[in-house]
Amino acid sequence: MAEIKVTLPDESTRVLSEGSTGADLATDIGKNLAKAAVALNVNGETKDLSQSLSDGDAVAVITQNTEDGLYVLRHSTAHVLAQAVLSIWEGATYAIGPPIKDGFYYDFELPDGATFTEDDLKNIEKRMREIIKEDQHFERYEIPSEEALELFGRHRFKKEIIERVSTGEIDSEISNEVGAEGTISYYKNGQDFVDLCTGPHVPSTGKLGHFALQKVAGAYWRGDEKQPMLQRIYGTAWSSKKDLEDYLERLAEAEKRDHRRLAAELDLVSWPEDLGSGLAVWHPKGSLIRKVIEDYSRSRHENGGYNFVFSPHIAKSVLWET
């Protein structure tokens, strides 16, 4: 049987049978690496572990606890989130769901303008864990845009993405969804769940599991207030239970010190919506604290030989134009 030789990050080489994949390479190197592997870097491009290797490729196995590995893991978890929502809500549709710093989100439109509740998040998490337990394989496909429009026919936001790609109108907002090479790529897992995506993804849903859904927020489609308001579910995902617990603990500690919560609890300051976003009204207790701080700051500056000037709170907008 013909053989191929690939180069690893330490410049060592590995000889494999022709047709070997990234998963085969990881297994050939060692069982622990194979268990931790989630994707590949082949000649500078991130690929699925199922990617066939060629003679002369420069290859690095991406593990789940690295920055690139967490990106893949969170992206795959976002797909499972979408799969869970569509399986629970008949008539729901989905928009985009990228990985972000420390987590992921996915935007949805529910039938009849419905919104998600806290109980809904619990039910979605339960369904996600069922999907993960089923260890469904992620499979990548490429098809012409005409077929993609038919495949995603009842999901208007996906159709819009396909149409934008077909006309060359692609931007960072949808770059994770599909490429711009003239064909549309998508992933399938389970019996019938499909999603537009360039990938890569973990080999199967069984690689996931250390995640939590955190909150729901409104988000305009494409960030345009003239577009439909969607329901955005935020979540976080990690490579281990400990990492997830540590992250959630950090969030809880930060919440305890949140100035907005403390300001309300201590009756220091409020931000009435009638005044405008971010405009503070200092209460008597807060005003006293503010005065003490301002007096201290002023005395230190005076003792340091500084002079004071005062400028208007508002000015012409051209001063900030570039």
Assign 182 a pLDDT band (cuts: 50, 70, 90): low
**Which tokens is 52 given?**
């066939």
Among 63, 87, 114, where does a domain finish? 63
Pair (119, 243) in one structural domain: yes
What is the distance between the alpha carbons of residues 48 and 252, in angstroms, rounded to a whole number?
35
When the pLDDT of each residue in the chain is averaged and rounded to a whole number, the result is 92
* pLDDT tens digits, 222-278: 989 999 999 999 999 999 999 999 999 999 999 888 888 888 889 999 999 888 888
Contact predicate 60/41, CB 8 Å: yes
What is the distance between the alpha carbons of residues 162 and 158, in angstroms, rounded to a whole number?
6
Pair (99, 239) in one structural domain: yes
What is the distance between the alpha carbons of residues 152 and 147, in angstroms, rounded to a whole number?
9
* Bond from prior residue into 98 cis (ω within 30 degrees of 0): no
Pair (108, 34) in one structural domain: no
67-88 and 118-133 helices cross at what angle (nearest 10)?
110
What is the distance between the alpha carbons of residues 202 and 206, in angstroms, rounded to a whole number?
9
**Which tokens is 229 given?**
């308001």
* pLDDT tens digits, 272-314: 988 888 889 999 999 999 999 999 999 999 999 999 999 988 8
Residue 106 maps to which CATH number? Answer: 3.30.980.10
The domain tally of the chain equals 3
Contact predicate 40/47, CB 8 Å: yes
The yes-or-no verdict on residue 173 having pLDDT over 80 is no
